[in-house]
Amino acid sequence: MRASLSLRGRVARWLLPPLLILLAINAVLSWLGARQAVNRAYDRSLTASIRAIAEQVHSLEGEITVDVPYSAFEVFEAGVQERIFYAVFAPDGRLVTGYEDLLAPRAPAEDGTLLLAEMPYRGEEVRIGAMKKRLYDPALAGGDAVTIVFAETTESRIALARELFFDSLRRQLLLVGLGALMLALALGSAFRPLVELRDAVQRRAEDDLTPVPTGNVPSEVQPLIGAINHHMERLSAMLAARRRFLADAAHQIRTPLAVLSTQAEFGARQGDPGEMRRIFESLLTTIRSTRRMADQMLSLSRAEPANGLIQEQAPVDLTAIAREVALELVPVALKKHIELAFEETGAAPMTGNAAMLRELVANLVDNAIRYSPPDTQVVVATGTADGHVVLAVSDEGPGIPLAERDKVFQRFYRILGQGGPDGSGLGLAIVREIALAHGGEVRLADAPGGRGLQVEVEFPRRADEVAQA
């Protein structure tokens, strides 16, 4: 597995290459600048030498004389390593004095402007200067302007430029090193709160899910800490739901298990087959009731939003789900001589978890059948109203008194004198959890006609369906 870079490594990886590139560019510019500075300084001497020679060039009746002054060379005496070359050419191109092969790269201007250039000469790089001087002698052939050329090798120039360049480069490297040191210190100071936060989290106990403090955390990291705290809150809620479920399960299953044990022991002592059959039928009833309670506790656990199992939602039709559930429970209703009716006004589109919505409808219809007396009617209705999807289940049972309606949503709460021994008190708690997980609301009211109970669940309608309505 590829090791991930630290934040310091990432910063260095992003900063060092550009800095090196900038340093290289700056080095090139520094070298060019040093060469230009040295050339400007040395070119003054070169210009002075050419002008000194030009002052000593004269012509009389077509005869050109040149008296090369010592001052033209003394400015170069300090640089003994340099070699100096000069030449004076007559207007017709013949050599008057100096090196015959010392030619300017191009002809200088007629107005006496000095031409400066670098070129190879006799296998060496030289700095050459050239200019023209008018002698005002009509006897001269080819005009009256002589060409004066002066050149020197560039070793001293390059040595001085190199010295200036390395001095500048050393200063730049020193500044870069100081900048890198300051950057490392700044990064260490900036990351110190993160290191302290890491150490604080590592020192925590395994079951400590309290929020991570954000007091000394940089503002850029606070959104991450907020997301971590939110995740820890979800984990804490999920673990609390698990503990609550285990505690409720242990408490509620203890009683039916004790009843089963007593019934089994009593049946084992019986010798009469008829009595044993009656005890075993009672035992089977208790087992069914216990199994139903266990199934409902599992449904309740899955329905709690903290568990995250209900978050997988997709477009569904609540009318289709309610119709399927009602058809499945028709045999149960017929067994109690109860008429199970289904009413709809069309599709009821919403976004939800189909399995959990089936569980909600099944609990409502099962409760209605369970608490309704024989020869009555249970009505399941679906529809849409005011941008909401509505499910209503009404029965003709004993109903729920107003004082008890807030309590029946509590786990394992049962109204005395209602329901059979196989009731668990979890049906409406499951319905509420599933409804809340879907952004819905559960309301209890008297059934139409004033007899029985009507449970109405209202869900948000699917956004695209609301836009089309």
User: In this structure, is residue 2 part of a structural domain?
Assistant: no
> In this structure, are 345 and 418 located in the same domain?
yes
How do strand 339-344 and strand 377-385 relate by DSSP bridges?
A: parallel
Q: How far apart are CA 427 and CA 436, in angstroms?
A: 15
Amino acid at 181: L
**Could you report the per-residue pLDDT of 320-361, keeping only the tens digit for each?**
999 999 999 898 899 899 999 999 888 889 988 888 898 889
CA–CA dist 369, 152 (Å, integer): 116
Within this chain, do residues 102 and 228 fall inside the same structural domain, yes or no?
no
Could you tell me what percent of the chain has a pLDDT over 70?
83
Residues 447, 322: one domain? yes
- The strand ranges marked E within 20-101 are 57-60, 63-66, 84-89, 95-98
CATH code for the domain in which residue 90 is found: 3.30.450
Amino acid occupying residue 402: L
My answer on whether 317 and 299 are in the same domain is: no
Confidence label for 131 from pLDDT (cuts 50, 70 and 90):
very high
Based on the fold, state whether residues 275 and 412 are members of the same structural domain: no
How would residue 259 be classed by pLDDT, with cut points 50, 70 and 90? Answer: low
User: Is a pLDDT exceeding 50 seen at residue 466?
Assistant: no
Nearest to 140 by CA among 93, 87, 89, 92: 92
Q: How confident is the model at residue 407 (pLDDT cuts 50, 70, 90)?
A: confident
Residues 125, 246 within the same domain: no
Q: How many structural domains compose the chain?
A: 3
Helices (DSSP H) in 313-381: which residue ranges?
318-335, 354-371
Q: Which of 403, 395, 442 is nearest to 419 (CA)?
A: 395
Q: Is residue 456 part of a domain?
A: yes
Q: In 10 A of CB 463, how many CB atoms?
A: 11
Here the CATH number for the domain that contains residue 407 is 3.30.565.10
The residues pairing with 97 across neighbouring beta strands, listed in sequence order, are 88
Distances (CA, A) of 453 to 319, 322, 395: 21, 18, 6
91-118 residue pLDDT tens: 988 999 999 999 999 999 988 899 999 9
- 73: Cβ–Cβ under 8 A, 6 or more apart, which residues? 49, 84
Does some domain include residue 413? yes
Cα separation, 60 vs 65, whole angstroms: 8
Rounded Cα–Cα distance for residues 319 and 322 (Å): 5
pLDDT of residue 306: 45
Q: Establish if 189 belongs to a structural domain.
A: no
Residues 268 and 399 in one domain: no
Secondary structure of residue 199 in the 3-state scheme:
helix
The Cα 196–Cα 302 span in angstroms is 38
Start-to-end Cα distance in the chain: 53
Packing angle between helix 354-371 and helix 318-335, nearest 10 degrees?
30
Give pLDDT, residue 431.
85
The structure tokens listed for 338 are 């109860």
What is the rounded CA–CA span in Å between residue 69 and residue 57? Answer: 10
CA-CA distance, 219 to 193, in Å (whole number)?
Answer: 11
Structure tokens at 222: 């606070």
Which range marks the domain in which residue 147 is found?
A: 7-161
Residue 118 lies in a domain: yes
Q: Which residue has the tokens 């020192």?
A: 203
Pair (297, 316) in one structural domain:
no
Residues 372 and 324 in one domain: yes
32/230 Cα distance (integer angstroms):
59
Structure tokens at 255: 């009683």
- Pair (337, 457) in one structural domain: yes
Asked, for residue 79, whether it belongs to a domain, the answer is: yes
Domain boundary among 248, 277, 305: 305
Residue 467 confidence (pLDDT) above 50: no
Are 300 and 332 in a shared domain?
A: no
Q: Report the candidate in 380, 373, 454 with the shortest Cα–Cα distance to residue 418.
A: 373
The domain boundary, picked from 144, 161, 178, lies at 161
pLDDT, position 80: 47
Tokens of 23: 């340093």
Q: What is the pTM of this model?
A: 0.47
Among 248, 270, 305, identify where a domain stops. 305
* 395 within some domain: yes
Q: What is the Cα–Cα distance from 429 to 421, expressed in whole angstroms?
A: 18
Q: pLDDT for 36-56, tens place per residue?
A: 999 898 888 889 889 988 899
Between the alpha carbon of residue 304 and those of residues 228, 234, 298, the distances in Å are: 21, 12, 10
Question: Residue 12's CB: how many other CB atoms inside 10 A?
Answer: 17
> 280 with 349, same domain?
no
Residue 321 pLDDT: 92
Would you state the pLDDT for residue 114? 92
Across the chain, what does the average pLDDT equal?
Answer: 81
Q: Which residue is it, tokens 């395994």?
A: 206
Q: How far apart are CA 248 and CA 316, in angstroms?
A: 32
- Expressed in percent and rounded to 5, the helix, strand and coil fractions of the chain are 50, 20, 30
Comparing CA positions, the residue from 185, 432, 186, 409 lying closest to residue 305 is: 432
With respect to residue 453, please indicate whether it lies within any of the assigned structural domains: yes
